[in-house]
Structure 1
């Protein structure tokens, strides 16, 4: 698969980290690591780890194809890999199919292993981020045609990491959404959960007036620590979220 630049990635890339890409089939990771720890060997390791988790999911889906297609929560079967169980648990809390958590789950799984080799890491996978940092970070918000796009960011202090910052949109990208949110951004220590809840939250937005009710849905799920919902010029936010101008 040929790597294609995703222009929104400039909103989260960090100038003090070295960024590289890992692309395996549909999986397209942008990985930033502590500059002194970057090496060609680390890139190869990241590719190996990513392939491992992709293979685990692919093998499970071959036997249980409903895991790939279901839009409702599923109970995983005996022998399911840990990453599939994490996805299913997150999806159950959010009320969505398990694949709604796949990007966040892969980002977190790869990131946790790479943290054995670098003290800081940021992994973006389809708009979903796993972050471990020793300094304050700003993650820019991309919300399509909304006037908030590239005007604001979420500021993350180091003591809150590692965590997941996941975004779902009904107006940006190709991911399945039943809503029309410009962005539903969910923060959680569990990146799989943040991903699944972002999908479920975005599904609840059709009009600007829906941002508050969608936000209330997200904040009532245990494990969610912050949320931002955007539709056009309406924004609702809650929790451990500091929004700053950029």
Structure 2
């Protein structure tokens, strides 16, 4: 098991996926243990995706087996030049945000799988529990799911077509299995790095425990 468990509400069915619009891409889903990827691409690539997901999860799990602190620490982890690339990327991006390396694990899976899928499809969208890798040749709209909040799915982000991919990641203190010390309904970060967006969303989410903390969280996000 990779992910730490929490007592937050977990939307296991992920019904928000039923609201996705657009028929221009093929949609498919790939699961392994806690990882549940919803993918859209130019063609059905579940066979390759399953191999990629298993490979990257295996690298993370193997590293954890020999480096137990990597999974449990909530503080930045020392860089390891001998580690797999996905591990080094997790260590680097989370250190920038002052959180433990596992704060970027979902974003890491989305980004590394997404980049590999670009070898088979010019457009790829990978959603992994609210962390999204997007490489699109047209404008895409992303709504923010925030559980029972009255703002849930009422805030829409317009993601312009880009030559490179982009990450859109959301952390919540109320919804989902990921660890958060805050109480924010949703904190969403957009970045050229899915890992960085994931880590930053976690870091900001940890700050917001009351309404008074929102401004402090925004200031931190601008650093």
CA shift in 2, pair 1:67/1:14, >3 Å: farther
**8 A contact 2:135–2:162 mirrored in 1:** no
CA shift in 2, pair 1:161/1:194, >3 Å: same
Q: Are 2:70 and 1:67 aligned? A: yes
Match of 1:49 in 2: 52
**8 A contact 2:80–2:88 mirrored in 1:** no
Match of 1:33 in 2: 41
Match of 1:97 in 2: 100
Q: Structure 1 stretches of 5 or more lacking a match?
A: 221-246
CA shift in 2, pair 1:160/1:84, >3 Å: same
Structure with the largest fraction of strand:
1
Match of 1:124 in 2: 127
CA shift in 2, pair 1:158/1:22, >3 Å: same
Query: How many corresponding residue pairs?
Result: 212
Match of 1:140 in 2: 143
**What is the CA RMSD across the aligned residues, in angstroms?**
1.5
Q: Are 2:24 and 1:16 aligned? A: yes
List aligned pairs for 1:1-246, cutoff 5 A. 5-10=13-18, 12=20, 14-34=22-42, 37-38=43-44, 42-159=45-162, 161-220=164-223
TM-score, normalized by length of structure 1? 0.82
**8 A contact 1:87–1:102 mirrored in 2:** yes
Match of 1:233 in 2: none
- CA offset digits 1:85-105 (Å, max 9, x no partner): 000001100100000000001
CA distance in 1, matches of 2:13, 2:147: 17
CA distance in 1, matches of 2:191, 2:163: 10
The offset of 1:148, in angstroms, is 1.3
CA shift in 2, pair 1:209/1:161, >3 Å: farther
**8 A contact 1:163–1:191 mirrored in 2:** yes
CA distance in 1, matches of 2:17, 2:159: 17
- CA offset digits 1:94-121 (Å, max 9, x no partner): 1000000000011000000100111111
* Higher relative contact order, chain-length normalized (CA < 8 Å, sep 6+): 2
CA shift in 2, pair 1:101/1:186, >3 Å: same
